[in-house]
């Protein structure tokens, strides 16, 4: 339902996966699970991750794959620029030209800035790789205790929306606009129900952490999930 479409009668209680959905007055709609209203964008965002000032919009279910490739491209670009700048100070036999360090303070400063940006962007890329594998969002990871349908669960045990590693990555890499049949994928590859528009219908399940991410946190709190 689009912003402002809901009538007064639609404000009655609506449930999804046994959870009462919150009604968003500015958008005039009930928020599906994992949906959050962004004050900066002025609308509700499905599978909300965060509002990114770099790209000037929210990152969510419809564009998070684009954001991931953006981070990857930025990491590669920064790494290339850093290597090219460092190579200026070396000769063909890898002899360091120390005088250039003194004569080119601007280049040295620029390389330091690029190096810091590379560390930051690479760390962000690694973090979003973890989120994709664990079927989490930045919002859920940071605000777990403030989200009504998550606060009763232990965060260390994983997301209640998480399935297998393959299904988590499929859900992340197959956004609503993806035509699964043309990609050679089965429509239910991620094990998700979808709306007519292709948006994921998330269902709460048992907290699950893929084995590749299991750092033995769940061994004591969720022994039955240790080998899932």
**177-222 pLDDT per residue, tens:** 666 555 555 555 667 788 888 888 999 999 988 877 655 544 444 5
Which of 24, 38, 41, 52 is flagged as catalytic?
52
In this predicted structure, the answer to whether residue 223 has a pLDDT above a threshold of 90 is no
Average pLDDT, the chain: 83
Over residues 14-53, the pLDDT tens digits come to: 888 889 999 999 999 999 999 999 999 999 999 999 999 9
- Active-site residue, 183 included: no
Greater confidence (159 vs 103) lies with: 159
What phi, psi does 24 have (nearest 5°)?
-95, 110
Mean pLDDT of 125-138: 96
- State the pLDDT at residue 46: 95
Over residues 41-100, the pLDDT tens digits come to: 999 999 999 999 988 999 999 999 999 999 999 999 999 999 998 888 776 666 766 676
Q: What percent of the chain stands above pLDDT 70?
A: 78
How far is Cα of residue 23 from the mean position of the Cα atoms in its chain?
Answer: 24
Tokens of 180: 């699964």
- State the pLDDT at residue 224: 47
What is the 3-state secondary structure of the chain? CCCCCCCHHHHCCCEECCEECCEECCCCEECCCCCEEECCCCEEECCCCEEECCCCEEECCCCHHHHHHHHHHHHHHHHHHHHHHHHCCECCCCCECHHHHHHCHHHHHHHHHHHHHHHHHHHHHHHHHHHHHHCCCHHHHHCHHHCCCCCCCCHHHCECCCCCHHHHHHHHHCCCCCCHHHHCCCCCCCCCEECCCCCEECCCCCCECCHHHCCCCHHHHCHHHCCC
């Amino acid at each position: 339902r689009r912003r402002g479409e809901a009538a007064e009668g639609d404000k009655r209680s609506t449930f999804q996966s046994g959870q009462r959905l919150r009604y968003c007055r500015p958008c005039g709609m009930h928020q599906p699970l994992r949906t959050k209203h962004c004050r900066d964008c002025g609308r509700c965002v499905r599978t909300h991750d965060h509002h990114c000032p770099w790209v000037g919009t929210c990152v969510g279910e419809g564009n998070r794959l684009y954001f991931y490739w953006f981070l990857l491209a930025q990491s590669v670009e920064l790494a290339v620029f850093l290597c090219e700048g460092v190579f200026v100070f070396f000769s063909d036999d890898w002899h360091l030209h120390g005088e250039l360090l003194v004569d080119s303070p601007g280049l040295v400063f620029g390389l330091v800035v690029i190096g810091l940006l590379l560390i930051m962007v690479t760390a962000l890329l690694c973090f979003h790789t973890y989120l994709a594998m664990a079927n989490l969002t930045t919002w859920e990871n940071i605000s777990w205790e403030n989200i009504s349908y998550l606060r009763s669960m232990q965060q260390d045990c994983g997301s209640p929306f998480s399935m297998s590693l393959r299904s988590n990555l499929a859900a992340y890499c197959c956004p609503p606009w993806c035509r699964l049949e043309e990609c050679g994928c089965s429509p239910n590859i991620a094990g998700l129900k979808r709306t007519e528009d292709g948006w994921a219908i998330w269902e709460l399940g048992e907290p699950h952490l893929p084995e590749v991410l299991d750092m033995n946190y769940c061994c004591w709190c969720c022994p039955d999930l240790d080998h899932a």
